[in-house]
């Protein structure tokens, strides 16, 4: 009876924790949709931000609209109640698996250590995952930006203004990169109210990427001084592609240094066994004969 209760109680706790966690997430998503419909996005309570890299917070808000996992991780970092549910779920899973397979004998000290490790994991691992996903999406934007710049240059060459080019790209670039489309949509909303220069400043401020800053500076310089936007955009896209090639060359060149130790382990160790094996066998044979 006791063993049955030790299995049933963790299952019940896992069910309750998952139900509350999923229910809280769905409720927050519904609140966000209602606030967007009512044009009252600032109504949300300002929870304290716990992100390590504060520069990426604005971009995280944009990218979260296109990623369920990123949206969940952002809200997980802001909601302390979700962390409590996660600790209950993970600890119950650990206890249930240990009761079924009997890996270790649980006592009060081991349970305390397990709870401490789980709390540390729940606090730090989501933040690391959030940071890695954000950095990966920023890298994807940097990789796809030369193609977007080429499209912008073609539209400017065909007679479209920069404003119309932004509006067109915000609807057509989604198959290439949804984050770029979301950034351009925000820029178009800003452009309708405050003009093209402030919308370019918004892009430069919200996306922490060197390529995006170069794109924004080129547009602002061309708009302010009347330079040829077409030629400037083509030169910029070519420069970005050259930078990407150089970064790839650096990674390829670094492979040789990284492979030195694995090569030594994989090749020198068998060679050492082949060379020293007969000598060791002869020594063992001589010693056994003397004995």
Inter-residue contact 81 to 24 (CB < 8 Å): yes
Contacts of 230 (CB under 8 A, 6+ apart): 153, 156, 157
Domain match, 227 and 167 both: yes
- Whether 253 maps to a domain, the answer reads no
* Whole-number Å distance between alpha carbons of 168 and 172: 6
Domain match, 98 and 152 both: no
- Whether 81 maps to a domain, the answer reads yes
pLDDT of residue 29: 83
What are the tokens at 74? Answer: 């952002």
pLDDT of residue 43: 40
Q: What angle do CA 227, 232, 233 make, to 5 degrees?
A: 130
pLDDT of residue 31: 82
Domain match, 65 and 1 both: yes
Domain match, 5 and 101 both: yes
203, 227, 244 - which closes a domain: 244
Domain match, 143 and 240 both: yes
Contacts of 91 (CB under 8 A, 6+ apart): 114, 115, 118
- Whether 259 maps to a domain, the answer reads no
Where does the pLDDT of residue 52 fall: very low under 50, low under 70, confident under 90, or very high at 90 and above? very low
Question: 128: closest CA among 49, 206, 51?
Answer: 51
Concatenated DSSP letters of the chain: -HHHHHHHHHHHHHHHHHHHHHHHHHHHHHHHHHHHHTT-GGGS--PPP--S-GGGHHHHHHHGGG-HHHHHHHHHHH-HHHHHHHHHHHHHHHHHHHHHH--S---HHHHHHHHHHHHHHHHHHHHHHHHHHHHHHHHHHHHHHHHHHHHHHHHHHTT--HHHHHHHHHHHSTTT-HHHHHHHHHHHHHHHHH-HHHHHHHHHHH---HHHHHHHHHHHHHHHH---HHHHHHHHHHHHHHHHHHHHHHHHHHHHHHTHHHHIIIIIHHHHHHHHHHHHHHHHHHHHHH-
Query: Average of pLDDT values for 245-258?
Result: 86
Domain match, 86 and 170 both: no
Share of the chain above pLDDT 70, in %: 91
**Is the pLDDT confidence value at 22 over 70?**
yes
- Whether 288 maps to a domain, the answer reads no
Domain region containing 77? 1-37+56-106
- Whether 30 maps to a domain, the answer reads yes
Domain match, 100 and 16 both: yes
What are the tokens at 185? Answer: 């949509």
Query: Average of pLDDT values for 145-160?
Result: 90
- Whether 112 maps to a domain, the answer reads no
> What's the domain count of the chain?
2
Query: Average of pLDDT values for 167-172?
Result: 89
Domain match, 148 and 191 both: yes
Q: Give me the chain's average pLDDT, please.
A: 84
Domain match, 13 and 90 both: yes
- Whether 279 maps to a domain, the answer reads no
- Whether 209 maps to a domain, the answer reads yes
Cβ count near 211 (within 10 Å): 23
Inter-residue contact 129 to 137 (CB < 8 Å): no
Query: Average of pLDDT values for 227-237?
Result: 87
* Whole-number Å distance between alpha carbons of 41 and 62: 13
What are the tokens at 223? Answer: 């708009």
pLDDT of residue 224: 79
Question: 156: closest CA among 237, 239, 214, 243?
Answer: 237
Lowest mean pLDDT across 144-158, 193-207, 270-284: 270-284
């Amino acid at each position: 009876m006791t063993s049955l209760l030790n299995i049933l109680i963790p299952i019940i706790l896992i069910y309750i924790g998952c139900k509350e966690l999923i229910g809280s997430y769905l409720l927050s998503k519904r609140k966000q949709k209602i606030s967007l419909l009512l044009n009252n996005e600032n109504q949300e309570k300002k929870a304290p931000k716990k992100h390590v890299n504060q520069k990426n917070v604005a971009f995280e808000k944009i990218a979260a609209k296109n990623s369920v996992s990123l949206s969940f991780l952002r809200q997980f970092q802001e909601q302390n109640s979700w962390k409590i549910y996660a600790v209950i779920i993970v600890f119950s899973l650990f206890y249930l698996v240990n009761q079924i397979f009997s890996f270790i004998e649980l006592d009060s000290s081991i349970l305390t250590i397990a709870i401490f490790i789980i709390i540390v994991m729940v606090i730090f691992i989501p933040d690391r995952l959030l940071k890695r996903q954000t950095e990966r999406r920023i890298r994807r934007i940097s990789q796809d930006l030369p193609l977007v710049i080429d499209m912008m240059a073609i539209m400017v060459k065909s007679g479209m203004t920069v404003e119309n080019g932004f509006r067109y790209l915000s609807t057509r670039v989604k198959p290439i990169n949804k984050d770029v489309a979301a950034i351009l949509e925000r820029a178009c909303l800003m452009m309708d109210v405050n003009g093209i220069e402030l919308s370019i400043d918004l892009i430069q401020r919200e996306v922490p990427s060197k390529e995006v800053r170069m794109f924004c500076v080129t547009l602002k310089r061309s708009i302010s001084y009347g330079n040829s936007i077409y030629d400037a955009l083509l030169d910029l896209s070519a420069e970005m592609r050259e930078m990407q090639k150089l970064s790839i060359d650096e990674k390829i060149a670094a492979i040789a240094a990284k492979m030195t130790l694995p090569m030594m382990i994989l090749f020198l160790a068998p060679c050492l066994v082949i060379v020293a094996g007969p000598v060791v066998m002869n020594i063992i044979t001589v010693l056994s004969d003397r004995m």
